[in-house]
Structure 1
């Protein structure tokens, strides 16, 4: 029979060799990145616009902004823009500092206040962008932050791209395993890399008139996944 000392030594040896064996198995893995992309025609646009005004008193500046923004929102409503497609981005108020000369010395002093109200608008009629911009300009909008195009069915498209990215990862893995003389084993891990892509912002000044041609182009959508496979020696012929 084995004494306690011998059994303890055997157990210690088994524990010592276990990590080495595990590391060897982990080294026999294949990591690949699957990718998929598509170009879609945008069906909506998002513009960020607003009103900015200055006055000697803070209350007067904010009142002027409120009046003009109400006119802008009324104009948007008359253009067929639904209330749920208009969202206030932010409202701000800050002092206006100026350099003034007093008693022969230059001093910084508050000479007024500037208020602003920014609005994000979603347009579902891309062909009517120019006319809408003209209307809000006449209504009093004087601050523009840009125009971008988007695709309303983006989530559905990304579901398809996610599946295609996984299929692309399997294709790459099979090719790499075969080229290296190994057999592809089961999947150990899948990590969703997420989506990417989209149309760049367009300067609002480029689309301030209905006479200005606006080309929506296409929106590029992308998705990628990382997949880890086991690889093993191919089994011999029976």
Structure 2
């Protein structure tokens, strides 16, 4: 795992005594600290839609039922349990000749599915299966770490320490000292004072990719990320003293 810390922004402000000012009425420093960590993903979520159209509603619906049964059978063969499959209600829509002519020409049945893979062993196998199914659309895979909560707790602490170091350097350069913390936030904001205060959410960015070795000869282009990036930022206002 690769760890990097960065201070994204900092500003030294001395507030005025204007009654209508939203700023604190004492000298302060506002800093933003950030911590970032690259980790190998060990779980994934795959979202997709089973969809079929037919002239008759029963034919469209039955096709979705059959695709669902085939899907369940395949997922069971690669060790995915029913508890890790979330299927929404089947939806049916009428298809019309055009916008002005509302004569029904057919029906479309669809069902959103989410599959959680608690290990990545069969990720590419599952994606390959889905891409080859005629009635499966809008396939999207996202990656995560089972240690996210623990890692983000550490990143939050490191981001806070980063902010303190930056505040100490800025204060020292101006011949003043840090006193106490006036405000610290993980989310929200204080207008133009510090922009959007808070952690950068649970955003995940993707690093270099690798393919599945045994699929190289088939020309398949399915990939797994070598790492995902977890990131936290914290904004702090410190009181300063001469």
Interval of TM-score (by shorter of Structure 1 and Structure 2): 0.7 to 0.9
Question: Runs ≥4 in structure 1, deviation > 3 angstroms?
Answer: 133-141
Report the CA distance shift for 1:66/1:25 in structure 2 as closer, same or farther (over 3 A): closer
Separation in 2, partners of 1:191, 1:169: 12
Q: Post-superposition shift, 1:181?
A: 0.7
| Residues 1-238 of structure 1: pairs in structure 2 closer than 5 A | 26-89=25-88, 91-99=90-98, 107-136=101-130, 141-192=135-186, 193-194=198-199, 195-199=201-205, 210=215, 211=218, 212=220, 213-233=222-242
Separation in 2, partners of 1:151, 1:47: 15
Calculate the TM-score normalised by the size of structure 1. Answer: 0.74
- Aligned to 1:126, the other structure's residue is in SS state coil
- Aligned to 1:155, the other structure's residue is in SS state helix
Separation in 2, partners of 1:196, 1:229: 26
Q: Which structure's CA Rg is the greater one?
A: 1
- Gaps in structure 2 of 5+ consecutive residues: 1-16, 187-197
Report the CA distance shift for 1:19/1:80 in structure 2 as closer, same or farther (over 3 A): same
> What is the alpha-carbon root mean square deviation over aligned residues?
3.1
Number of matched pairs: 204
Calculate the TM-score normalised by the size of structure 2. Answer: 0.73
- Aligned to 1:70, the other structure's residue is in SS state helix
Normalized per residue, the structure richer in helix is: 1
Report the CA distance shift for 1:141/1:73 in structure 2 as closer, same or farther (over 3 A): farther
